[in-house]
Amino acid sequence: MEIVVITILFIALLYALYHIKVTTQHIKEIIRLLKEYRTGNLSAMLFLKGKGIVGELALLINNVLDSNQRQIEKAEEKTQMLEATLRGMSDGVLMTDKNGNVILANQTLKKLLGIKTSPEGKKIPEVIRNNELLELFKEAMDTWEIISEEIEISINQKDIFVMVTAVPMYSATAVTGVVFTLQDITRLKRLEEMRKDFVANVSHEIKTPLTAIRASAETLIDTSLEDKEHALRFLNMIKTHSERLNALVEDLLTLSRIELGDMPIEKTAFNPEEAIDTVILTFKERAESKGLQIRKNIPAGTNTIIGDKNKVIQILINLVDNSIKFTETGTITIGITKNEKILILYVEDTGIGIPKDHLDRLGERFYRVDRARSRELGGTGLGLAIVKHLINLHGWQMKIESTVGKGTKVSIITS
């Protein structure tokens, strides 16, 4: 009997020892897994065969780890989406904490501000040296409100205009930081300035001949009708100024049609000499009356050019018109040079010339070297703008060379 009891006890002891060993192994396995998980292996799983409490524990741990992993994946997905959005944004984004330390800046911002090193961890003024931006940060922190303002920032000695929006980030009780978005509006500002300049210029150009027409008409009404000679003078004045008004409107319409893309180029092969002859015929009388010689210089064998003949004539007319206006003595040459495969059409004069520092700006609407002198000669500064546009429409290039007191040469490089 005793032997039986001892045997049962022994078996029970053996079973208990076996159980303890298995449980210890399982717990060790759980510890190993949790350690692995802590070091970053988020896909680690428990594969325990045991049933009972340890099995239940393993199942529970697996479930917790699994849902944890899914949450982490979701968070990562969100971060990636956020990063992609920030990367793809055309606006610069700068995020700071409540102390004004930069937490994040997107690629657009770095490009906009020419930042080479990482701005994270730096204070706002170290990244963007601008007081107004700092003020915006303080205001957003104090008021908890979204604020927008247009500011001018100087970067590498260049000024840019940006529309800044400061959005405070807050928890239930405090502002935790500010997100700035910076939209580059430099081009818009320049366009706006150009528009204002344009309106001012057009108004001015229209006003001058209109005033002259009105004054002449008033004088005619008041005094000169009986005096035929006087009357003729004022009528001629009216005629000249109406012609000028007409020319201005025509030029403006041409420019606007070109800019609206409403002026198609119809390229054909034609003989450039024909175009040159038409232009010479147009100006012969005017040149002669000023004592100027007008001639052509075409190398033998030049028989074709591919372009829009009427527009080439228009280009040459505007150039020769300038040459006659700005030349007192000498010659105006319309010519062609051939440089390997490139054909260059040019108009050269022996006139007053253009100072070097003006050359880059020629071709801007209403740009004149000597405003008063050009206006006196009946010019509004639209001729070269039209020439430049027509040359660009062909895909050609314009080159202006000039020496003050010696003359000017405008070349059309057709290639």
Ligand X SMILES: Nc1ncnc2c1ncn2[C@@H]1O[C@H](COP(=O)(O)OP(=O)(O)OP(=O)(O)O)[C@@H](O)[C@H]1O
Given a contact cutoff of 8 angstroms between Cβ atoms, the answer to whether 397 and 391 are in contact is yes
Q: Which two tokens stand for residue 247?
A: 């020319």
Residue count of the chain: 415
Nearer to ligand X, 119 or 383 (CB): 383
Residue span 378-397 as binding mask against Mg ion, x where in contact by CB under 5 A, dash where not: -----x--------------
What value, to the nearest 5°, has the Cα angle with vertex 339 and ends 397 and 276? 65
Residue span 202-241 as binding mask against ligand X, x where in contact by CB under 6 A, dash where not: ----------------------------------------
- The residue from 334, 381, 396, 398 that contacts ligand X (CB under 6 A) is 381
What value, to the nearest 5°, has the Cα angle with vertex 373 and ends 317 and 296? 30
Which residue, chain included where needed, has tokens 């997107």? 106
Residue span 272-311 as binding mask against ligand X, x where in contact by CB under 6 A, dash where not: ----------------------------------------
Taking CB atoms, the residue at the shortest distance from ligand X is: 383
Helix, strand, coil abundance in the chain, percent, nearest 5: 55, 20, 25
Instruction: Report if residue 130 touches ligand X, rule: CB under 6 A.
Output: no
Spatial strand order in the sheet of 147-155: 102-105, 92-97, 175-184, 158-170, 147-155
Nearer to Mg ion, 189 or 286 (CB): 286
Partner whose binding site includes residue 335, from Mg ion, ligand X, none (CB under 5 to 8 Å by kind): none
- Residue 116 DSSP symbol: -
Partner whose binding site includes residue 352, from ligand X, Mg ion, none (CB under 5 to 8 Å by kind): ligand X
Instruction: Report if residue 326 touches ligand X, rule: CB under 6 A.
Output: yes
Given a contact cutoff of 8 angstroms between Cβ atoms, the answer to whether 354 and 286 are in contact is no
Q: Which two tokens stand for residue 251?
A: 């030029």
* Candidate ranges 50-58, 337-345, 353-361, 376-384; the one touching Mg ion (CB under 5 A): 376-384
Partner whose binding site includes residue 292, from ligand X, Mg ion, none (CB under 5 to 8 Å by kind): none
Interface of this chain with Mg ion, residues 298 to 337, rule: CB under 5 A? 322
Instruction: Report if residue 351 touches ligand X, rule: CB under 6 A.
Output: yes
Give 30's strand partners.
none
Spatial strand order in the sheet of 342-349: 293-297, 331-339, 342-349, 407-414, 397-403
- The residues binding Mg ion (CB under 5 A) are 322, 383
- The residues binding ligand X (CB under 6 A) are 251, 322-323, 326, 349, 351-352, 354, 362, 367-370, 374, 379-385, 408
